[in-house]
Chain A
Amino acid sequence: MTTVAEAPTTTASAGGHRRKQQLTDRDKQERRLGLRLVAPAVIVMLAVTVYPICYSIWLSIQRYNLRFPDDRKYVWFSNYGRILSSAHFWQVMSNTFIIVVISVVIELILGMALALFMHRATFGRNVVRTAILLPYGIITVVSAFAFQFAVSPSIGGFWHLTSPPLNNHSTSLFVIILTEVWKTTPFMSLLLLAGLATVPNDYVEAAKVDGANAWQRLIRVIVPNMRAAILVAVLFRTLDAVRIFDTVFIQTRGANNTATLSQLGYNQLISQLNLGLGSAVSVLLFLIVIFVAVVFVKGFKTDLGQVRGER
């Protein structure tokens, strides 16, 4: 990369002082145009995310409830102290953790199977691709209602359920995970399918010749060669699952201790109008998302770097 960039610089300086000056002028113009074209998008993105998150941090160090607007004062980290020392928060953390880990693991396995199917299928490739876009495209709220109705003993009578699953902690989490898996596995499988396409067919064929069976080819040849795609898919889905809100809101609204971090933030901010405590929850969620992203990127830096270098 650096050697390529150096070549024009040397020719420019060899061409003499005047030519170099001209080039810089044109460069300047190009820079200005580039920045101007990018500016609107960047300003909008920063104004609607960076400013509010700073505002959120500022709110999180105050005692501030919209129902008692006069009782507003700086309390520094006591909101965080209250949250981190409450059992309810740790219940919420554990719910979120369970949903993220179980759903992402299932999605990875199912998504890989789906991707392999679409990659190898000699029949129905297009039909399958179109079909799996339906769960991806459908509104999350709608899929949440579909599964909620299906497990309701009165509406989904065909299961002959004796007690409603959404009235119990663990079965509620099960239904939430099931809904998430149904809805988001297709997205995972499409990312994995794109990764599969980058695995050189020669490697797979060579392994076949050397007598590797299908499972060995998958684990020893295909998976290691598409590590970056797997990482990207898992990272995207993990961060998406950490902020899960729609399904939980529709199916349980956090009843029976099934709240997730986003649901807890909503309850504090919008239901209780407690901007101080709610913002502290929001900031914690934000920090968790950053933490997960950093762990992924740092932990697998070599993998991602390798793939980048190869390209």
Chain B
Amino acid sequence: MATITAGSTARPAARRAPIPKDRKKIQPMWVVGSIIIVLYAIIPILWILSLSFKSQTTITDGAIIPKHFSWVNYSTIFKTGVFVRPLINSIGIAIISTVIAVLLATLAAYAIARLNFPGKKLVLSAALGIAMFPPISIVGPLFNMWRSLGLYDTWPGLIIPYMTFSLPMAIWILSAFFRQIPWELEQAAAVDGATAFQAFRKVIVPLAAPGVFTSAILVFFFAWNDFVFAITLTSTDRSRPVTAALNFFTGSSQFSQPTGAIAAAAIVVTIPIIIMVLIFQRRIVAGLTSGAVKG
């Protein structure tokens, strides 16, 4: 191994010149590749977008781009109430789950990264085990328990499983992140005359914020995306999130298909995802890979 490294460190100097030439030649291949990958990612989304602009009469015309753009599906879903209440439920439940899960995960991850206590490894392994747990295996008991506890078809009834299943991911991301923070800076600030709180707020919080934020995005994605608990632990619009509500959409009349309305609602709930991906691309990638590589 040592010999290989020694040999190859000598090499690049000699080989450095031809590499850019290679790259210049290859350029069109990367361009074509990028275009193919981008199309792969966005075509299904554009397809739903196109459907959402078709009216009841043109939805079955099979056109890829709508011949006449119509906002009727959007006005339908926002007027009839089949969508507005679930949308509020989705937003509220996802945000509350995110805040609580990230809070609990931050405490746990801080302890795992900085303190010495027994069972640290056990906590991380338990978290990993729970991340792989099949949700449907506990849906029956939760269904039964929630009915007797009065949590069935309520916001807390969904918030509790959401934060449980996103805690492992948040703990892994945050503890990997906290391990890299130079905690000595806290003492350095104290030496410079900062109070303990100032040192924490001015030095540690800015360093820890990106990690906390990354885990918050991923927890939000999880809660926003869930369907298993949404469909099993709710029964009315009181707490039903959008993912479940889409299954109860009906067309504008009894005999019309709800396709256009589903497409419009799908676009509305996809917009926040697209915005977050565009803004926080780097953080999401870092968060998704940090636990897996360092674990």
Contacts and interface: CB of A to CB of B under 8 A. Distances in A.
Counting chain A CB atoms within 10 Å of each CB, the highest count among B9, B37, B140, B269 belongs to B140
A14 interface: no
B38 A127 contact: yes
A60 to B, nearest CB: 9
Given A30-B117, A133-B277, A190 B132 contact: no
Contact of B273 (A131, A138, A194, A205): A138
A165 interface: no
A149 to B, nearest CB: 6
Given A44-B163, A191-B292, A156 B141 contact: no
Contact of B133 (A49, A55, A158, A279): A49
A145 B48 contact: yes
Contacts of B42: 131, 134
B21 interface: no
A68 B161 CA distance: 28
Interface string A100-122: 00000000000000100100011
B107 A45 contact: no
A214 to B, nearest CB: 12
Interface of A: 27, 30-35, 37-38, 40-42, 44-46, 48-49, 51-53, 55-56, 59, 114, 117, 121-124, 126-143, 145-147, 149-150, 154-158, 182, 186-187, 190-191, 193-195, 198, 200, 202-203, 205-206, 209, 229, 232-233, 236, 239, 242-243, 245-246, 249-250, 261-262, 265-266, 269-270, 275, 278-279, 282-283, 285-286, 289, 293
A218 to B, nearest CB: 16
A48 B105 CA distance: 16
Interface string B144-186: 1100000000000000110110011001000000000000000
A183 B225 CA distance: 12
B139 A123 contact: no
Contact of A123 (B27, B132, B164): B27
Interface stretch (B118-126, B187-195, B204-212): B118-126
Interface of B: 4-5, 7-9, 11-12, 15, 23, 26-27, 30-31, 33-34, 37-38, 40-42, 44-45, 47-48, 51, 59-64, 104-105, 107-108, 110-112, 115-120, 123, 126-127, 130, 132-145, 160-161, 163-164, 167-168, 171, 221, 224-225, 227-228, 231-232, 242-243, 246-247, 259, 262-263, 266, 269-270, 273-274, 276-278, 281, 284-285, 288-289, 292-293, 295
B9 A41 contact: no
Counting chain B CB atoms within 10 Å of each CB, the highest count among A133, A236, A249 belongs to A133
A140 B107 contact: no
User: Is chain A's binding surface mostly helix, strand, loop or mixed?
Assistant: helix
Task: Give 7 closest A-B pairs by Cβ, nearest first.
Answer: A157-B62, A34-B117, A124-B34, A194-B289, A37-B111, A52-B138, A34-B115
Nearest to A242: B134
Contacts of A229: 292-293
